[in-house]
């Protein structure tokens, strides 16, 4: 049977719960248009038991985090956390993640219910300082490092043209920085994380400002000429071990642009092709199959949500807020980041799921940073926990001997009233 309800009839009893996250997810639901429609001034909702049972509930929103440049066992290489995002996106209504998870160099996978959010912006979102405004399409600009060789520059411009012609991506214009950025990278000897700097950040910011002013772009891809890797660290990375030496400074570059302009940004490094290796780890292989890492960046930025400062008058209009997040999934020892801590302290307290199998060079376990989390062995279990949580089931109820007798916290009548057997107040 199907039930049709209009806002006019619903308002006689109680308002129907709605949120931007719910509306975003429902745009991409499996319900046919005749089963779910929205009209200005009123909402027409049709539900049928032949479809998924949560179509008349608030959208379930998850955040998937794998920090950059920390040697994550899953997500520390060339897009090797993308299968996790694909699987998780099939369970939740809306998935929020970041380029380190969703980028795979020459490879990417379009997922209509996934929001591509840069790491700095994701932290500000978690802190409830920014909201996320879903879009149909962004105007993407491309910044190329003046330090790139001519052949590398041509290769990247050909990639941009290919995405425009073959994928229809809205890449409007490119600009070359007025100075070489001079990227430097290294590993922090204390933390083991990759990091670095660019010597001329002002040149990058001027280039982005020119694109914004001249072409009206509202998303930016940056290609910096990186020092070519060599030595034992590169060999380890190609074998699926160690830390990604590029990732740390890549994050620094995108953070700089997002902090200054409040628009989506992602980075793709420019490197000379490596010699062919006959013993390459599959986790690192995506970076070996083409000339650039740019395709996934342009695809992600093409419909990345816009970042709205919550102090703005219109900040929350049609936006997703931190309070819309139901669960956060992250590595077991990477719970100390700004975003993770902010989510854990949110008044609505999303479920935090810590994955033991995904180890990093960090040591920020839930106990150490003082947050409550469900610990799971792997992402198989994590997705099962999320599926149960979305359904409204206590995940412990589907495990052996994990439900104890209900506890009594008070023997006093509630609000000084006694309650009858029928439940009515006497």
**H-assigned helices in 142-277:** 150-166, 201-215, 232-238, 247-261
The answer to whether 20 touches 59, Cβ cutoff 8 Å, is no
Please name the helix (run of DSSP H) or strand (run of DSSP E) that holds residue 9, with its range, or none: helix 7-10
Mean pLDDT of 235-254: 86
The arithmetic mean of pLDDT across residues 84-96, rounded, is 97
Could you tell me which of 247, 255, 150 has the C-alpha nearest to residue 208?
Answer: 255
In angstroms, the CA 171 to CA 141 distance is 6
Stretch among 191-205, 213-227, 259-273, 307-321 having the lowest mean pLDDT: 307-321
CA geometry: angle at 251 spanning 116 and 125, to 5°?
45
Q: How many CB atoms lie within 10 A of CB 364?
A: 21
Check pLDDT > 60 for residue 19. no
Q: What are the angstrom distances between the C-alpha of 144 and each of 154, 224, 318, 393, 394?
A: 10, 6, 33, 50, 50
Out of 82-96, 112-126, 150-164, 224-238, which region has the weakest mean confidence (pLDDT)? 224-238
Indicate if the pLDDT at residue 415 is higher than 70.
no
Helix (H) or strand (E) holding 266: strand 265-270
User: 183 pLDDT band (50/70/90 cuts)?
Assistant: very high
Q: DSSP label at 2? A: E
- Please give the mean pLDDT across all residues of the chain: 85
pLDDT at 425 over 80: no
Measured between alpha carbons, how far is residue 158 from residues 19, 121, 295 in Å? Answer: 41, 29, 11
Position 5 pLDDT exceeds 50: no
Mean pLDDT of the 349-356 span: 96
The pLDDT of 179-196, averaged and rounded, is 93
What does the pLDDT read at residue 328? 98
Beta bridge partners of 386: none
Is the predicted pLDDT of residue 316 greater than 50, yes or no?
yes
Q: Tens digit of pLDDT for each residue in 120-144? A: 999 999 999 999 999 999 999 999 9
Per-residue confidence at 30, pLDDT binned at 50, 70, 90? very low
pLDDT, mean of residues 274-282: 79
Report the Cα 252 to chain-centroid distance in Å. Answer: 17
CB 290 within 8 A of CB 274: no
What local confidence, expressed as pLDDT, does residue 228 receive? Answer: 83
pTM, 2 dp: 0.82
Average pLDDT of span 365-391: 96
Confidence (pLDDT) at 421:
54
pLDDT at 240 over 90: no
- Banded pLDDT at 27 (limits 50, 70, 90): low
Q: pLDDT category, 233, cuts 50, 70, 90?
A: confident
pLDDT by residue (tens digit) across 50-76?
444 455 678 999 999 999 999 999 999
232 vs 332, residue with greater confidence: 332
């Amino acid at each position: 049977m199907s039930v049709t309800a209009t806002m006019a009839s619903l308002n006689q009893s109680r308002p129907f719960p709605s949120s931007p996250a719910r509306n975003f997810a429902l745009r991409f639901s499996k319900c046919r248009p005749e089963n779910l429609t929205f009209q200005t001034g009123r909402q027409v909702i049709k539900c049928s038991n032949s479809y998924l049972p949560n179509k008349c509930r608030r959208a379930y929103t998850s955040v998937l985090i794998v920090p950059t440049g920390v040697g994550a066992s899953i997500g520390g290489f060339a897009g090797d956390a993308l299968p996790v995002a694909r699987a998780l996106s099939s369970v939740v209504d809306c998935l929020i993640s970041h380029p380190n998870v969703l980028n795979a160099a020459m490879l990417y996978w379009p997922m209509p219910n996934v929001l591509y959010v840069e790491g700095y912006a994701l932290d500000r979102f978690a802190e409830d300082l920014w909201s996320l405004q879903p879009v149909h399409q962004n105007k993407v600009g491309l910044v190329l490092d003046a330090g790139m060789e001519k052949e590398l520059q041509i290769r990247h411009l050909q990639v941009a043209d290919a995405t425009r012609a073959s994928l229809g991506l809205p890449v409007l214009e490119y600009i070359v920085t007025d100075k070489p950025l001079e990227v430097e990278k290294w590993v922090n000897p204390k933390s083991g994380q990759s990091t670095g700097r660019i010597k001329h950040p002002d040149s990058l910011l001027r280039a982005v400002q020119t694109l914004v002013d001249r072409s009206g772009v509202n998303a930016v891809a940056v290609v910096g000429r990186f020092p070519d890797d060599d030595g034992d660290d590169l060999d380890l990375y190609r074998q699926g071990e160690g830390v990604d030496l590029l990732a740390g400074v890549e994050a620094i570059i995108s953070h700089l642009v997002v902090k200054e302009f409040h628009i989506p940004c992602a980075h793709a490094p420019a490197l000379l092709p490596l010699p062919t290796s006959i013993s390459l780890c599959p986790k690192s292989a995506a970076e070996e199959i083409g000339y650039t890492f740019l395709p996934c960046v342009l695809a992600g930025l093409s419909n990345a949500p816009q970042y709205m400062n919550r102090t703005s008058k219109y900040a929350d209009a049609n936006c997703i807020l931190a309070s819309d997040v139901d669960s956060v999934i992250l590595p077991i020892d990477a719970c100390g980041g700004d975003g993770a801590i902010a989510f854990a302290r949110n008044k609505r307290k999303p479920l935090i799921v810590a994955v033991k199998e995904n180890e990093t060079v960090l040591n920020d376990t839930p106990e150490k940073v003082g947050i409550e989390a469900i610990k799971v062995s792997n992402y198989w279990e994590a997705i099962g926990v999320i599926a149960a949580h979305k359904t409204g089931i206590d995940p412990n109820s589907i495990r052996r001997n994990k439900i104890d007798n209900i506890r009594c916290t008070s023997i006093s009548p509630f609000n000084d009233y006694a309650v009858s057997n029928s439940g009515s107040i006497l």
